[in-house]
C-alpha cells in the first residue's frame, strides 16, 4: 500500500518538475546560467512540495478507502475456506424453494423428459 502511495507521489512530483521547468525557462536566453539555475531551483521546490502533498493526500485517500471495507473475521479456518463453505450452504438452503427445474429438450426439438433408449443386443 505504501509502495503505491510513493509511486503516485513520485509521478506527480516528476510531472510538476518538468512542467515547472518548461514554464519557467527563458528560451530566448537559453544558455544564461542564472536563468537555467533559477528554473531548476523553482522546479525542484515545486516537485518536492507536490511530492509531499501527493504523499499525504494519497495516504489519506488510500487508507480511507481500504479502512472502510468491512472484513468478516469469523470462522477463518484454512484461509476462510470454512467460512465460504458455510455461506454457500446457507445460500443453498435458502434458495432450495426457489430452484426452478427446466424441462430438457431432446435432439428432435420436442419438449419433455428424455427417455433412454434400450440397446439392441
Task: State the DSSP string of 51-82.
Answer: HHHHHHHHHHHHHHHHHTS----TT--TTTHH
The predicted structure's pLDDT at residue 91: 78
Query: Measured between alpha carbons, how far is residue 99 from residues 44, 46, 58, 103 in Å?
Result: 66, 63, 47, 13
* Residues 84-111: tens digit of each pLDDT: 777 777 777 766 555 554 445 555 555 5
Domain segments of the chain as ranges: 24-62
Q: Is the pLDDT at 11 greater than 50, yes or no? A: yes
Cell matching residue 64: 480511507
Q: The pTM is what?
A: 0.51
Report the C-alpha gap between 90 and 92 in whole angstroms: 5
Amino acid at each position: 500500500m505504501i509502495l503505491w502511495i510513493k509511486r503516485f507521489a513520485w509521478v506527480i512530483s516528476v510531472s510538476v518538475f518538468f512542467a515547472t521547468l518548461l514554464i519557467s525557462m527563458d528560451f530566448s536566453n537559453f544558455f544564461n546560467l542564472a536563468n537555467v539555475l533559477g528554473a531548476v531551483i523553482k522546479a525542484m521546490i515545486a516537485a518536492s512540495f507536490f511530492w509531499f502533498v501527493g504523499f499525504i493526500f494519497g495516504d489519506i485517500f488510500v487508507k480511507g478507502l481500504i479502512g472502510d471495507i468491512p472484513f468478516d473475521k469469523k470462522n477463518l479456518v484454512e484461509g476462510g475456506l470454512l467460512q465460504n463453505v458455510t455461506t454457500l450452504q446457507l445460500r443453498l438452503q435458502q434458495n432450495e424453494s426457489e430452484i426452478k427445474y427446466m424441462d430438457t429438450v431432446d435432439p428432435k426439438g420436442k419438449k419433455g423428459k428424455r427417455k433412454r433408449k434400450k440397446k439392441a443386443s
